[in-house]
Amino acid sequence: MDFGIAAQVYPDDYHFGRSATVVDIHDGPDQLALINIVQQLHASLDPRTVFACFGKVLGQYLPLAGIQAQFAEMQLSWGKRIGVSLKRHLNNEICRSAVLDYRLDAPLTPAQIRVLQTLESMLVQPLLNAIQYQKMSEQAMFDTLTGLGNRNFYGQAIKHAVARASRHQDKLSLIVLDLDNFKQLNDTHGHQFGDAVLRQFGALIKSAIRNTDQAFRIGGDEFVVLVRGELDSATLLCERILSKLAKGSFFYRNRIHTSLGAAEIQAGENQDNLYERADKALYQAKAAGRNCYRLSLQHPVKG
């Protein structure tokens, strides 16, 4: 692993004020302490927790005020953004050109630089493990094409939402929707165009829902939205999606429409019952001519 040190070297007898928490050492932690540090760093698979642990450990041996780091698309921060800046670059296959920006109460001596190198080398692997784990978890839970939750995530989320609604008597609704005549679009314009439609439709749904709602692509052109609220809330969301679709130039130009079905959970229902009723409402919308929505247990409503 290649570490680039961007720091002026100061003599060993350079004196500066230290905080009371800094250990007065020259060679860093002993072997037993190193083992303990490794165990601490490997104790979590959350990148922010590992990074914070690293900052706290460094703060015991060095005059450290804070650290900021940039790992690809992930930014991590611990402590304060004040003091002398010491930037170091980490180059490896997984974490290309990552930058660690240390903020120090005073410049480091050569002995302290060696301590930093030792502890820094111990940080990299557990942090990369945590970053990789987070990426794999996201890939396992999110649809790569639209960025919405995938079928696996939906299965977990709907069970949790139904259980919560049952415990706390919360209102919960479900919208099932798909693109009208999507197979024909794919056959006519090709799969690349179909993927573009799905990406933009996913973005449209994401822009239409509230922060309390969750949207998923569960297969092909089929989407679902978990709505935290009663059927009136789901109705407003259906209308908002149809309105955005009608106003979107890409969708209007290519005559892309959607049909939606919505249902509110009833006492004693499970997630399968709720989905089945919303799905039946969707097929009622299809039968009514598409490009509209229908509500389970409600009078038909034009889109």
3-state secondary structure of 281: helix
Give yes or no for a contact between 181 and 194, defined as CB atoms under 8 angstroms apart: no
221 annotated active-site: yes
Q: Quick one: which of 281, 201, 212 has its CA closest to 244?
A: 201
The 8-class DSSP code of residue 269 comes to: -
Q: Which of 12, 221, 232, 272 is catalytic?
A: 221
Task: Pick the closest to residue 278 from 223, 240, 214 (CA basis).
Answer: 223
DSSP 102-134: EEESSPPPHHHHHHHHHHHHHHHHHHHHHHHHH
* Amino acid in the structure at residue 245: L
Return the number of other C-beta atoms located less than 10 Å from residue 58's C-beta.
Answer: 23
- The neighbouring-strand residues paired with 84 are 104
Whose CA is closest to 180, among 200, 197, 205, 156? 197
- CA 139, distance to chain mean position in Å, is 10
Residue 2, CB-side half-sphere exposure with 13 Å CA sphere: 9
Catalytic residues: 221
